[in-house]
């Protein structure tokens, strides 16, 4: 039974005892310690009996009934029986330890009473007193025997309670061990989660650094594209210079008078030929005008460049021009695709290897592109006057460098792994 029900039963029993003693208290001429002396109890113990703090024994109920009757407020048999019923309920509701404590207190009280009666009997020589004392001794012995039986029952209850407490303690210990195991597992999971979070944070920082590095590379590529566009504009301006030179072997008419200027095929200068004036009969010959100064005509630089100096090698130079022009944008695309494949491959180089590969690829692209463009420009001047095909290929190759660069940047940003990029990596001995 729970402690709450025990306190309720003891409280009801104490209220009933206090109600039985209330008429005597209301008179005001009898103090409570008189009841304690009558029952041979301590005053504090009697107070606990009356307020329900402790369960009063059977003898206290009988002493209380006699005490209130002696002061003019006798209890009815029903009220006396109700007090004993409440006492039994309160005693039954007590825990085994409380029952044991109550029994020990009652035994101690009986021992004191018996010692007091024996002392009184020894001091008195009256036979009636001796007989009464003998009866009290017998009653005390019987009550002690009953209390001894009660103690055996209480001990049995205590043993059962101890066994139950032991089982509960074992169960609690098992639950505690289980909770410790669960706590250890949770701590391990928490440690793993912390390690995972640290790893993810490190990966995030590494990716942020890589993103910043790629952003720097993208800015560098944009600057290179801008520089290439400037070079392309300058090349376009050089290609579109107007041809205003005077071809050799051309005849220039003199605006002054009757002579012609003949250009020298070897020196590019004009030589004036004077015409012979016709004489009319009877007239003076006409005055011949002074010769005009000779004018030197210098061919334009482009005309000099387009002089067919090495005609048998022109097909070879045209082929080299076309290959260099088409190889320039192809080199940009291949290097970008190779670096994108190295970045996107699962078994690719480390971060240090990627940085070195990026630097090497960038230098190789710039140097290779510059070399190819120099070859294309130089061979373009050795293909003679008949070069429409190589000129178109050269111009379209310059324009093709821009989409090739844009496609390469797209591959770098998306780190797309392509077969072309892997092939170019393997071509230079880099495996992923």
What are the tens digits of pLDDT across the range 181-216? Answer: 999 999 999 999 999 999 999 999 999 999 999 999
Indicate if the alpha-carbon torsion angle 106, 111, 112, 117 is positive or negative. positive
pLDDT of residue 340: 84
Residues 6+ apart with CB under 8 A from 324: 372, 373, 375, 376, 379
In tens, the pLDDT along 136-172 reads 777 777 777 877 777 777 777 788 878 888 888 898 9
pLDDT at 279 over 90: no
User: In Å, how far are 37, 41, 147, 266 from 113, measured between CA atoms?
Assistant: 12, 11, 15, 165
Rounded Cα gap, residues 422 and 260, in angstroms = 72
Query: For position 335, what pLDDT does the model report?
Result: 86
- Residues 273-306 as b/e (b if ≥16 CB within 10 A, e otherwise) read eeeeeeeeeeeeeeeeeeeeeeeebeeeeebeeb
Cβ contact 114:140 at 8 Å = yes
Percent of the chain with pLDDT over 70: 73
Decide if 265 contacts 248 (C-beta within 8 A).
yes
Condensed to tens digits (0 to 9), the pLDDT of residues 39-98 reads 888 888 889 888 888 888 888 888 899 999 888 889 898 988 998 899 888 888 877 766
Q: Which of 1, 5, 38 is nearest to 21 (CA)?
A: 38
- Per the model's pLDDT, the better-predicted residue between 339 and 242 turns out to be 339
- Tokens representing 353 are 């290897």
Alpha-carbon span 344 to 214, nearest angstrom: 13
pLDDT at 214 (0 to 100): 93
pLDDT tens-digit readout, 362-420: 898 889 888 888 887 777 666 554 455 555 666 777 778 888 888 888 888 888 888 88
- Joined together, the tokens standing for residue 258 give 């009757």
Residue 312 pLDDT exceeds 80: no
Exposure class string for 240-263: b at 16+ Cβ within 10 A, else e: eeeeeeeeeeeeeebeeeebebeb
Range name among 15-19, 204-208, 334-338 with the lowest pLDDT average: 334-338
Give me the pLDDT at residue 393, please. 66
Strand ranges of the sheet holding 251-253, from the earlier edge strand across to the other edge: 251-253, 259-263, 270-274
Q: What is the pLDDT of residues 352-372, one digit of tens each?
A: 888 888 898 889 888 988 888
pLDDT of 95-111, one tens digit each? 776 667 667 767 776 77
Confidence of residue 269 (pLDDT cuts 50, 70, 90): very low
Residue 253 has pLDDT above 50, yes or no: no
pLDDT at residue 391, rounded to an integer: 59
pLDDT at 286 over 70: no
Distance, in Å, from the CA atom of 101 to the CA atom of 113, rounded to the nearest integer, reads 18
Q: What is the pLDDT, as a whole number, of residue 148?
A: 79
pLDDT at 302 over 50: no
Q: 96 near 158, Cβ under 8 Å? A: yes
CA–CA separation, 103 and 81 (whole Å): 22
What CA–CA distances, in Å, run from 60 to 64, 77, 84, 109? 6, 16, 10, 11
Across 220-228, average pLDDT: 92
């Amino acid at each position: 039974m729970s402690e709450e029900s025990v306190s309720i039963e003891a409280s009801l029993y104490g209220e009933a005892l206090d109600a039985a003693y209330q008429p005597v208290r209301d008179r005001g001429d009898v103090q409570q310690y008189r009841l304690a002396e009558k029952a041979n109890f301590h005053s504090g113990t009697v107070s606990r009996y009356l307020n329900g703090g402790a369960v009063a024994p059977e003898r206290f109920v009988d002493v209380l009934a006699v005490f209130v009757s002696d002061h003019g407020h006798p209890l009815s048999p029903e009220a006396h029986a109700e007090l004993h019923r409440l006492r039994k309920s309160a005693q039954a509701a007590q825990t085994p330890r409380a029952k044991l404590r109550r029994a020990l207190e009652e035994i101690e009280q009986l021992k004191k009473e018996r010692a007091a009666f024996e002392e009184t009997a020894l001091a008195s020589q009256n036979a009636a007193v001796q007989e009464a004392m003998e009866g009290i001794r017998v009653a005390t012995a019987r009550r002690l025997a009953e209390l001894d039986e009660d103690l055996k029952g209480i001990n049995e209850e205590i043993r059962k309670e101890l066994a139950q407490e032991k089982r509960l303690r074992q169960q609690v210990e098992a639950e505690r061990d289980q909770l410790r195991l669960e706590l250890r597992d949770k701590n391990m999971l928490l440690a793993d989660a912390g390690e995972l979070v640290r790893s993810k944070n490190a990966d995030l920082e590494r990716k942020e650094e890589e993103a910043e590095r790629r952003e720097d590379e993208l800015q560098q590529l944009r600057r290179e594209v801008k520089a290439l566009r400037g070079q392309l504009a300058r090349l376009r301006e050089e290609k579109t210079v107007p041809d205003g030179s005077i071809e050799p072997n051309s005849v220039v008419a003199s605006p002054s008078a009757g002579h012609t200027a003949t250009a020298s095929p070897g020196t590019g200068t004009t030589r004036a030929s004077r015409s012979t004036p016709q004489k009319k009969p009877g007239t003076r010959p006409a005055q011949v005008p002074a010769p005009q100064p000779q004018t030197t005509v210098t061919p334009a630089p482009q005309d000099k460049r387009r002089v067919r100096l090495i005609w048998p090698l022109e097909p070879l130079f045209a082929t080299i021009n076309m290959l260099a022009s088409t190889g320039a944008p192809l080199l940009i695309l291949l290097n970008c695709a190779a670096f994108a494949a190295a970045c996107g491959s699962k078994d690719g180089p480390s971060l240090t290897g990627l940085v070195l590969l990026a630097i090497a690829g960038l230098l190789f692209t710039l140097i290779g592109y510059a070399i190819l463009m120099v070859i294309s420009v130089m061979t373009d001047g050795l293909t003679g006057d008949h070069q429409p095909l190589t000129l178109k290929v050269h111009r379209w190759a310059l324009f093709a460098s821009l989409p090739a660069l844009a496609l390469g940047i797209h591959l770098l940003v998306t780190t797309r792994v392509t077969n072309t990029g892997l092939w170019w990596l393997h071509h230079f001995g880099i495996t992923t």
